[in-house]
Amino acid sequence: MRDLRKSFGNFQALKGVTFRVEEREIFGLIGPNGAGKTTTLRVLGTLISPTSGVVEVFGRDVVKEAESVREILSYLPEEAGAYQYLSGEEYLRFMAGFYAHERSAVEEMVQAGKDISGLGDRLNDRVNEYSRGMKRRLLIARALMIKPKLAILDEPTSGLDVIQAYHVRGMIRDYAEKIGVTILVSSHNMLEVEYLCHRVALMNEGNIVSEGTPEELKLRYNAVNLEQAFMEATQLG
């Protein structure tokens, strides 16, 4: 994307955001709540239109070719939910039906979802019996099982405890390495992103303030972790 700007009335949420995600990498967009991360992801996901700027997904313009873009990406919002009275497997099968029309393709997709989720026999239980961590694992499996060219995950471990978050991060990393899908992750948890992502962009108040690999950013700001690098980059430290 180049010079992405988005205004809501008189409020300028994005002030000229520019970054590029390389194919087959996990890219992290990190910053505090209100930095503009979710707005950026919603533009990429064709959910809202930019005020100005150029935004493309694998060469497809998100405004002019929105339908085409939707065919190659999967978007998981922070507060996504699943159908409470379906079992985990029924939910995966229901969602697979939107993307695959042959029975063999549906079965392949559902099996991939089962493997990614790691929920085992609990997939036979209703979703309303799941813990928050189990629901998040199911939803991420749904987002990844369709093998999108780009998976957009907004705060994938939001509200999860340490153990649940550890499993979710492992799911994402293992799948990305196995399948080679491109993943864009947003998070305010900078230590988590440091573990998960190949490259990251530090975002604050609608701007990208710095970009690079976690090691490059730590070296650039003489920091021991990305949290400290962010504080130095935004002169908040």
- Please list, residue by residue across 81-114, b when 16 or more beta carbons sit within 10 angstroms of its beta carbon and e when fewer do: ebeeebbbbbbbbebbeeebeeeeebeebbebbb
In this structure, are residues 119 and 134 in contact, taking their beta carbons and an 8 Å threshold?
yes
Q: How far apart are CA 197 and CA 194, in angstroms?
A: 6
Extents of the domains making up the chain: 1-72+149-237, 82-147
Per residue of the chain (237 residues), what is the pLDDT tens digit? Answer: 999 999 999 999 999 999 999 999 999 999 988 999 999 999 999 999 999 999 999 999 999 999 999 999 999 998 888 889 999 999 999 999 998 888 899 999 999 999 999 999 999 999 999 998 899 999 999 999 999 999 999 999 887 888 888 888 888 888 888 888 899 999 888 888 888 999 999 999 999 999 999 999 999 999 999 999 999 998 864
Q: How far apart are CA 104 and CA 79, in angstroms?
A: 31
In this structure, are residues 188 and 156 in contact, taking their beta carbons and an 8 Å threshold?
no
Looking up tokens 């085992």, which residue turns up? Answer: 120
3-state secondary structure of 124: helix
Residue 42: per-residue pLDDT: 96
Element at 207 (helix H, strand E): strand 207-212
Tens digits of residue pLDDT in 136-170: 999 999 999 999 999 999 999 887 888 888 888 88
Q: How far apart are CA 79 and CA 232, in angstroms?
A: 31
C-alpha distance from residue 181 to each of 48, 73, 92, 136 (Å) = 24, 10, 19, 19
Q: How far apart are CA 207 and CA 205, in angstroms?
A: 6
Would you state the CATH architecture of domain 1-72+149-237?
3-Layer(aba) Sandwich (3.40)
User: What token pair was written down for 185?
Assistant: 């992750």
Q: Indicate the pTM of the whole model.
A: 0.92
Using DSSP bridges, classify how beta strands 56-57 and 60-61 pair: parallel, antiparallel or unpaired: antiparallel
